[in-house]
A and B are shown apart, each in its own frame.
Chain A
Amino acid sequence: MLSPLASLRAGLERRLKPEGRAWLRQALSEATDVTEPAGPAGLPRWELHFVTAGRRCGPAPHTEGGAPDPVDAARVLILHAAAPGTDALVRLYGKGSADERRAVLLALPHLDPPPRTARALSLVEDALRTNDTRLVAAALGPYAAAHLDAHQWRQGVLKCLFTGVPTAAVAGLEHRAAGDDELARMLEDYARERTAAGRTVPEDLAYVLRLARFEESRDTPHPPGPHRPGPDPSVPDPSGHPPPAAPHRRSQSRSQPRPPESPPQSPRSPQPRSQSPQPRSPES
């Protein structure tokens, strides 16, 4: 069986045109070459390849639904091969375009040696502050699932619902959301706010809420069908969403607000999950 990066590379090579494939092989073989700077900006060779990937290996025809963006994939492979230290990684993100920043975020869980956690998390946090949904989605990958603290992770999940990022983009959602009472409260408050305003509740919300309330088995697959973001990601726009999912029952009780409680038939978790970051295996 192929490792995740080996299958990423195999899948990418299949999707590239011959000239793109040749470029990728050269870029990966030169990724550890630090002998002389290259290009008009005098960057290390691997960095030049990383920056210019968008015009060297794209556009590939989008035939395989759900396959990673080829430019993202190429950049992740280059970063893995070059194995930059934490300083270089932070610089790359700070001086990168949005596409380059996204690639740095996507690469975080794959780097060997892994970057220093606090500084890598500062990149995740930076991305979560943006309203660029592609950055937000990339920030909530396996690295955030493993390392982001509970408060910021919950804010990230809520931001997905606000900006139309499908919660399927949140790595480890089933695991981290399970039994998270604080997340459940935030989701219920949000649903109530939407309902009070006469707006639809994002369809992913009910699913995440069931997870947080332990009503959904962790083994249940995530509901299919990503919904597309509304036209303006900074404003939750009901028209951007498909027909409303059934809101959680509590969200409909606008006339008599009550303190959060579990629905009657819901088995209450005997031991809610710890709110602190949970240790994960780094190879996820």
Chain B
Amino acid sequence: MPTQSRSIPRIFDPHIHMTSRTTDDYAAMYQAGVRALVEPSFWLGQPRTSPATFYDYFDSLLGWEPFRAAQYGIVHHCTLALNPKEANDPRCTPVLEELPRYLLKDGVVAVGEIGYDSMTPAEDTALAAQLELALVHELPALVHTPHRDKAAGLARTLDVLRESKLPPERVVLDHLNETTVGPAADSGCWLGFSIYPDTKMDPDRMVRILRVHGTERVLVNSAADWGRSDPLKTRHVAEAMLAAGFDEDDVDRVLWRNPVAFYGQSGRLRLDAVPAGERLFAGNSILRGGE
């Protein structure tokens, strides 16, 4: 392993689809400082045609993928849900009846990704039902904001959230950008930003948002999946923050303590597997790379 001469941040990626990533990615993420992550269940690119394929997918997020992550020193948790896109397919919606049993599992730290894709009545139903599931399972909710018609989608999401009894501090609104961060912040929800190579956010724009809105309730993720994406974007944001004058404590807050606080509301985060004494950025002792 090449020896790095400078300290590296400890990173918790709160939204990444490792099912679509390789073992090289796991190794590179560990080298970059990633020690924990949350994998939300989502659309796999190829439409599903039956509920049973969801259960195999959920089983993978509760079995094989945590095992794979552990081989590379990374703690894996997941969020489970019927995603907004497939909430429109009646062949898939029976998943909602099986979700209560899955949401009990130890590795599940939120209900998600839920939210809107095309803003249909079926999506209204699935979103409201799954916010209710988060409430009764005492879990947070990871709410995806739509890629198309984002501002209107966020407004409608906030309406549904107000009607649910789920308190805003139990909700993260994800894939935010410059145009949606204002109303999202006003709602009291956590603010999620996905950093992508071409679309969504980039590291420098992320830093500008952090300058204006501060680091409170902000989660930064790579949302890396089967599309053009980069699992090291969290680290790139850390670098951009330091270059812009944020200090190591700010970086640790955004990239470690904030996701721990948000998902910690589930009572199910197991970070004891992160080696004791390995503080990376946090505190006074700073682990050097190249161990």
B-binding residues in A (CB < 8 A): 39-43, 48, 51-55, 58-59, 95, 97-101, 130-134, 229, 231-233
Contact = CB atoms under 8 A, between A and B. Distances in A.
B106 interface: yes
B101 A229 contact: no
Contact of A41 (B27, B59, B104, B267): B104
Given A95-B101, A231-B72, A55 B23 contact: no
Nearest to B272: A59
A53 B268 CA distance: 11
Nearest to B61: A97
17 contacts: A39-B104, A40-B136, A40-B137, A41-B100, A43-B101, A43-B104, A51-B105, A51-B106, A52-B104, A54-B270, A95-B101, A97-B105, A97-B106, A97-B107, A130-B64, A231-B23, A231-B71
Given A41-B103, A41-B104, 6 more contacts: A43-B104, A51-B104, A55-B267, A97-B59, A100-B105, A231-B72
A54 B100 contact: no
A171 B51 CA distance: 38
Contacts of A39: 104
Contacts of B72: 231
Interface in B81-109: 100-101, 103-107
Which 4 pairs across A and B sit closest by C-beta, in order of nearness? Answer: A98-B63, A54-B106, A97-B62, A41-B100
Nearest to A42: B100
Interface residues on B, range: 20 to 34
Interface in B48-85: 59, 62-64, 66-67, 71-72
Contacts of A59: 270, 272
Interface in B238-291: 267-268, 270, 272
B59, B62, B105, B268: most-surrounded residue (chain A CB, <10 A): B105
Given A40-B104, A42-B100, A98 B62 contact: yes
B62 A132 contact: no
Contacts of B62: 97-98
A97 B63 contact: yes
A40, A52, A53, A131: most-surrounded residue (chain B CB, <10 A): A40
B64 A40 contact: no
A14 to B, nearest CB: 18
B193 to A, nearest CB: 29
Interface string B21-36: 0010001000000000
Nearest to A54: B106
Contact of A231 (B27, B64, B103, B133): B27
Nearest to A133: B67
A132 B270 contact: no
Contacts of A130: 64
